[in-house]
Amino acid sequence: MKEIHKAGVHHQDIYPGNILLVRGNPDRLVWIDFDIATTFTDPKPEQLALSDYEIELVKGFGDALRDDQAEGLPPNTKFY
């Protein structure tokens, strides 16, 4: 997500279903579904705040997935 923000884009639809993992390269992922994304060239405080918010959403995915696993649920159960 930080790389997307560096390119001047806010995704605006942050959830695990919009992330694809690259087979054979577990350190690489691809964000999809940019249909409601917005762009910016000169970040203003409100744009920086949105960037921070999107990063915090991504950080929360791990907690939710750990909770699902602890409960014996399939991956991403709470997001669909």
Q: What is the pLDDT of residues 39-66, one digit of tens each?
A: 999 888 999 999 999 999 998 887 777 7
Structure tokens belonging to residue 55: 């990063």
Cβ pair 31, 4 in contact under 8 A:
yes
For residue 75, the model assigns a pLDDT of: 63
Percentage of the chain lying above the pLDDT 70 cut:
91
Kindly write down the DSSP assignment for every residue of 23-65, as one continuous string: TTEEEEEEE---TT-EE-SS--HHHHHHHHHHHHHHHHHHHHH
For residue 78, the model assigns a pLDDT of: 59
- Tell me the whole-structure pTM to 2 decimals: 0.74
Residue ranges of the domains in the chain?
Answer: 2-79
